Structure 1
Amino acid sequence: MSGKWTTLCLVILGLVSFFVLLMGFQAGLVSLAAPVVCIVLAIVLEERRRKRQNKGK
């Protein structure tokens, strides 16, 4: 579990660095919002899937 989250964080950091380099510092900071939204969505979907699995048991 923790390994998956570590990989996810590294990927997000890499994407953020890429955006900062690509678009400049200010636009890169604006793009930080996108990964945060993705993380929140991933957590919500994971929780929903767990709840469904628990109901199935």
Structure 2
Amino acid sequence: MCTSEKLLEHIEVLRNKMMTVAIEKGFTSKESIKLSQELDRMLNRYSRKKNVTEK
């Protein structure tokens, strides 16, 4: 399992990639949507991990 720091790094990389693709190919392109969904999964994973460590 990833550490919180590595997860945040991955989230930032995905966010930057998604924005680049969205600007180049459009916000509703298949690739932009795929990256957005992956980013959502990583953000949810981070949120769950953070909630567990805070309890």
How high is the TM-score relative to the length of structure 1? 0.50
Unaligned runs of 5+ in 2: none
Greater relative contact order (Cα < 8 A, sep 6+): 2
Unaligned runs of 5+ in 1: 21-28
Query: Cα–Cα, structure 1 residues 12 and 44, in superposed 2: closer, same or farther, change >3 Å?
Result: same
Q: Stretches of 4+ moved more than 6 A in 1?
A: none
Aligned residues between the structures = 44
- Supply the RMSD in Å over aligned alpha carbons: 3.1
> Residue in 1 aligned with 2:14?
8
AA of the residue aligned to 1:50? K
Query: Cα–Cα, structure 1 residues 11 and 31, in superposed 2: closer, same or farther, change >3 Å?
Result: closer
Aligned residues with identical type, % of pairs? 10
Structure with higher helix content = 1
Q: Whole-Å Cα distance in 1 between the matches of residues 44 and 17 of structure 2?
A: 19
